[in-house]
Structure 1
Amino acid sequence: MIKKLPNLLFFITSFSFAQDAEIFKPDSIKKKIEAIQISTTLRIDGVMNDPEWKLAKPTSDFTQIEPYQGKQPSHRTEVRVLYNKNYLYVGIFARDSLGKKAIRATDFKRDFSFRQHDLVALSFDGFNDKRNAMALVTNPYGVQRDFLSFDDIYYDIDWDGLWRVRTSRTDSGWVAEMAVPWKTLRYPKTDSLTQNWGFNVFRNRRLTNEQTAFSPFPRSFTNTRMDYAGVLSNLQPPPPSTNLRIQPYFLTSLDRYKNFDNKPNENTYKVGGEIKWAINPNAILDVTANTDFAQADADRQVNNVTRFSVFFPERRQFFLENASLFGVGVGPNEDLSGGNMRVQPFFSRRIGLDDNGNPIPIDVGARFVYRSLKRNYGAIAMRQREVGDSPGTNFFVGRYSENFGKQSRIGGLVTVKNRPDGSNMTGTIDGFFRLSESHSLNTMAVYSTSTNGGKQGFSGFAQYYYSTNQFKFWWTQSIVTKDFNPEMGFVSRSDVIGTTPGVFFFNRGKWIPFKKFIRAFEPGIMTEFYHQASTGKLIERQLNINPIWLNFQRGGFFGYLINPTFQRLTEAFIPLGVTIGTGDYNYVRHQIYASTNPAAALSLNTSFEWGTYFDGRLNSHDIRLQIAPIPHISILARYNRNHFKEVGVENATTKVDLYSIEGRFALNPRVQLIGFYQKNAENLSQNYNIRLSWEYQPLSYIYVVYNHREFDNLLQKPKQMEDHVIAKISYLKQF
Structure 2
Amino acid sequence: MYKLLLCVLLAGVSTAHYAQTKEVGVSFIETPIRIDGVLDEAAWDKAVPATNFWQYFPTDTIQAPYQSEIRFLYNDKTLYVGIKVSAQGDDYIVPSLRRDFRAGGSDNITLMFDTFNDGNNAFLFGSNPAGVRREALVSGGGKDLRGFTTSWDTKWVGETTVHDGYYVCEWAIPMSAFKYREGETRWRFNSYQFDTQDNSRNTWIQIPQNQNIFNLAYMGDMVFEKPLGSSKSPISIIPYVNAIAGQDRELDDNFTEIKVGGDARFTIGNSLNLDVTINPDFSQVEVDNAITNLSRFEVGLPERRQFFIENSDLFADFGDPGAANPFFSRRIGIAEDLDGNTVQNNIVAGARLSGKLTNKLRVGILNMQTENDEPIEIASTNNTVVALQHSVFSRSNISAIFVNKQNTSDAGFVQPEEEYNRLIGLDYNLANKDNSWNGKFYLHKSFTPGIDSKDYSGGARMEYNKNNWRATSATLFINEDFNSELGFIPRKDIFRNFSKVERLFFPKGGTINRHIFSLNSFFVWRPEVAFTLGDRTLSPQWEAQFKNTSSLSAKPRTRYTKLFDSFDPSRSDGLELPEGSEYRYTNLEVEYKSDQRKKFYYTANTTYGEFFNGEILTLRAEATLRLQPKLVLGINARYDNIDLPASYADNRIWLVSPRVDVTFSKNLFWNTLVQYSTLQDNFGINSRLQWRFAPLSDLFLVYNDNYFTDTTFAPRFRSINLKLTYWLYL
How far the C-alpha of 1:207 sits from its partner, in A, is 4.1
What residue number does 1:487 align with? Answer: 485
What residue number does 1:374 align with? Answer: 360
Matched letter for residue 300 of structure 1: N
What residue number does 2:5 align with? Answer: none
What residue number does 1:136 align with? Answer: 125
The answer to whether the 8 Å contact 1:260/1:720 transfers is no
What is the alpha-carbon distance in structure 2 between the residues aligned to residue 611 and residue 27 of structure 1? 45
Matched letter for residue 686 of structure 1: F
What is the alpha-carbon distance in structure 2 between the residues aligned to residue 384 and residue 226 of structure 1? 40
How far the C-alpha of 1:346 sits from its partner, in A, is 0.1
Of stretches 501-510 and 78-87 in structure 1, the one that deviates more from structure 2 is 78-87
Return closer, same or farther for 1:559/1:185 CA change in 2, 3 Å cut-off.
same
Whether 1:25 and 2:17 are equivalent positions in the alignment is yes
Whether 1:322 and 2:311 are equivalent positions in the alignment is yes
What is the alpha-carbon distance in structure 1 between the residues aligned to residue 643 and residue 47 of structure 2? 68
What is the alpha-carbon distance in structure 2 between the residues aligned to residue 353 and residue 43 of structure 1? 47
Whether 1:696 and 2:684 are equivalent positions in the alignment is no
Whether 1:271 and 2:260 are equivalent positions in the alignment is yes
How far the C-alpha of 1:626 sits from its partner, in A, is 0.6
Matched letter for residue 88 of structure 1: L
Task: Give the secondary structure class of the aligned counterpart of 1:183.
Answer: helix
Task: Give the secondary structure class of the aligned counterpart of 2:313.
Answer: helix
Matched letter for residue 522 of structure 1: I
The answer to whether the 8 Å contact 1:678/1:686 transfers is yes
What is the alpha-carbon distance in structure 1 between the residues aligned to residue 634 and residue 47 of structure 2? 43
Of stretches 118-127 and 465-474 in structure 1, the one that deviates more from structure 2 is 118-127
What residue number does 2:617 align with? Answer: 619
What residue number does 2:724 align with? Answer: 729
Whether 1:350 and 2:331 are equivalent positions in the alignment is yes
What residue number does 1:586 align with? Answer: 584
How far the C-alpha of 1:87 sits from its partner, in A, is 2.0
What are the equivalent positions in structure 2 for 1:556-705 lying under 5 Å apart? Answer: 556-575=550-569, 576-577=571-572, 578=574, 579-582=576-579, 583-647=581-645, 650-705=647-702
The answer to whether the 8 Å contact 2:560/2:585 transfers is yes
Matched letter for residue 550 of structure 1: A
What is the alpha-carbon distance in structure 1 between the residues aligned to residue 657 and residue 218 of structure 2? 43
Select which of 281, 293, 302 maps to 1:292: 281
What are the equivalent positions in structure 2 for 1:332-351 lying under 5 Å apart? Answer: 341-351=322-332
Q: Deviations over 1:13-42 (max 9, x none)?
A: xxxxxxxxxx972268x4232233333333
Return closer, same or farther for 1:627/1:283 CA change in 2, 3 Å cut-off.
same
What is the alpha-carbon distance in structure 2 between the residues aligned to residue 312 and residue 131 of structure 1? 24
The answer to whether the 8 Å contact 1:394/1:417 transfers is yes
Of stretches 379-388 and 634-643 in structure 1, the one that deviates more from structure 2 is 379-388
How far the C-alpha of 1:360 sits from its partner, in A, is 2.4
What residue number does 2:437 align with? Answer: 439
Of stretches 132-141 and 588-597 in structure 1, the one that deviates more from structure 2 is 132-141
- Aligned Cα RMSD in Å? 2.4
Task: Give the secondary structure class of the aligned counterpart of 2:615.
Answer: strand
Return closer, same or farther for 1:477/1:179 CA change in 2, 3 Å cut-off.
same
How far the C-alpha of 1:663 sits from its partner, in A, is 1.3
What is the alpha-carbon distance in structure 1 between the residues aligned to residue 608 and residue 28 of structure 2? 63
Matched letter for residue 570 of structure 1: F
What is the alpha-carbon distance in structure 2 between the residues aligned to residue 727 and residue 719 of structure 1? 26
What is the alpha-carbon distance in structure 2 between the residues aligned to residue 282 and residue 652 of structure 1? 58
The answer to whether the 8 Å contact 2:539/2:556 transfers is yes
Select which of 177, 194, 205 maps to 1:184: 177
Instruction: Mark the runs of 5 or more structure 1 residues left unpaired by the alignment.
Output: 1-22, 333-340
Return closer, same or farther for 1:217/1:413 CA change in 2, 3 Å cut-off.
same
What residue number does 1:80 align with? Answer: 71
Instruction: Mark the runs of 5 or more structure 2 residues left unpaired by the alignment.
Output: 1-14
What residue number does 1:336 align with? Answer: none
How far the C-alpha of 1:432 sits from its partner, in A, is 1.0
Whether 1:414 and 2:384 are equivalent positions in the alignment is no
What is the alpha-carbon distance in structure 2 between the residues aligned to residue 713 and residue 415 of structure 1? 40
The answer to whether the 8 Å contact 2:244/2:258 transfers is yes
How far the C-alpha of 1:81 sits from its partner, in A, is 1.8
Matched letter for residue 417 of structure 1: K
Matched letter for residue 527 of structure 1: S
What is the alpha-carbon distance in structure 1 between the residues aligned to residue 680 and residue 56 of structure 2? 47
What is the alpha-carbon distance in structure 1 between the residues aligned to residue 329 and residue 641 of structure 2? 34
Select which of 151, 154, 157 maps to 1:161: 154
What residue number does 1:205 align with? Answer: 195
What is the alpha-carbon distance in structure 2 between the residues aligned to residue 145 and residue 123 of structure 1? 12
Return closer, same or farther for 1:309/1:68 CA change in 2, 3 Å cut-off.
same
Task: Give the secondary structure class of the aligned counterpart of 1:566.
Answer: strand
What is the alpha-carbon distance in structure 1 between the residues aligned to residue 496 and residue 65 of structure 2? 46
Return closer, same or farther for 1:54/1:77 CA change in 2, 3 Å cut-off.
same
Q: Deviations over 1:251-290 (max 9, x none)?
A: 11112221316xx322211111111111012211110001
Number of residue pairs the alignment of both structures matches: 689
Task: Give the secondary structure class of the aligned counterpart of 2:83.
Answer: strand
Matched letter for residue 694 of structure 1: W
Whether 1:554 and 2:548 are equivalent positions in the alignment is yes
Whether 1:364 and 2:349 are equivalent positions in the alignment is yes
What are the equivalent positions in structure 2 for 1:31-42 lying under 5 Å apart? Answer: 31-42=22-33
What residue number does 1:508 align with? Answer: 506
How far the C-alpha of 1:368 sits from its partner, in A, is 0.8
Matched letter for residue 25 of structure 1: H
What is the alpha-carbon distance in structure 2 between the residues aligned to residue 137 and residue 357 of structure 1? 39
What is the alpha-carbon distance in structure 1 between the residues aligned to residue 317 and residue 233 of structure 2? 31
What is the alpha-carbon distance in structure 2 between the residues aligned to residue 331 and residue 626 of structure 1? 33
What residue number does 2:449 align with? Answer: 451
Whether 1:711 and 2:708 are equivalent positions in the alignment is yes
Task: Give the secondary structure class of the aligned counterpart of 2:482.
Answer: coil
Of stretches 124-133 and 89-98 in structure 1, the one that deviates more from structure 2 is 124-133
Return closer, same or farther for 1:59/1:442 CA change in 2, 3 Å cut-off.
closer
Task: Give the secondary structure class of the aligned counterpart of 1:520.
Answer: strand
Select which of 382, 385, 405 maps to 1:394: 382
Return closer, same or farther for 1:571/1:423 CA change in 2, 3 Å cut-off.
same
What is the alpha-carbon distance in structure 2 between the residues aligned to residue 242 and residue 158 of structure 1? 20
Select which of 272, 289, 293 maps to 1:283: 272
Of stretches 269-278 and 236-245 in structure 1, the one that deviates more from structure 2 is 236-245
What is the alpha-carbon distance in structure 2 between the residues aligned to residue 307 and residue 279 of structure 1? 46
Return closer, same or farther for 1:498/1:408 CA change in 2, 3 Å cut-off.
same
Q: Deviations over 1:336-380 (max 9, x none)?
A: xxxxx5221000000012466653221100001132432122111
The answer to whether the 8 Å contact 1:328/1:345 transfers is no
Matched letter for residue 105 of structure 1: V
Task: Give the secondary structure class of the aligned counterpart of 1:174.
Answer: strand
How far the C-alpha of 1:718 sits from its partner, in A, is 9.3
How far the C-alpha of 1:72 sits from its partner, in A, is 1.4
What are the equivalent positions in structure 2 for 1:302-313 lying under 5 Å apart? Answer: 302-313=291-302
What is the alpha-carbon distance in structure 2 between the residues aligned to residue 330 and residue 522 of structure 1? 28
The answer to whether the 8 Å contact 1:122/1:137 transfers is yes
Return closer, same or farther for 1:523/1:142 CA change in 2, 3 Å cut-off.
same
Task: Give the secondary structure class of the aligned counterpart of 2:609.
Answer: strand
The answer to whether the 8 Å contact 2:594/2:601 transfers is yes
Return closer, same or farther for 1:398/1:671 CA change in 2, 3 Å cut-off.
same
The answer to whether the 8 Å contact 1:249/1:272 transfers is yes
What is the alpha-carbon distance in structure 2 between the residues aligned to residue 214 and residue 331 of structure 1? 33
Q: Deviations over 1:691-719 (max 9, x none)?
A: 111112221111111111223799xx994
Select which of 463, 471, 474 maps to 2:472: 474
How far the C-alpha of 1:414 sits from its partner, in A, is 1.3
What is the alpha-carbon distance in structure 1 between the residues aligned to residue 366 and residue 250 of structure 2? 38
What is the alpha-carbon distance in structure 2 between the residues aligned to residue 181 and residue 601 of structure 1? 36
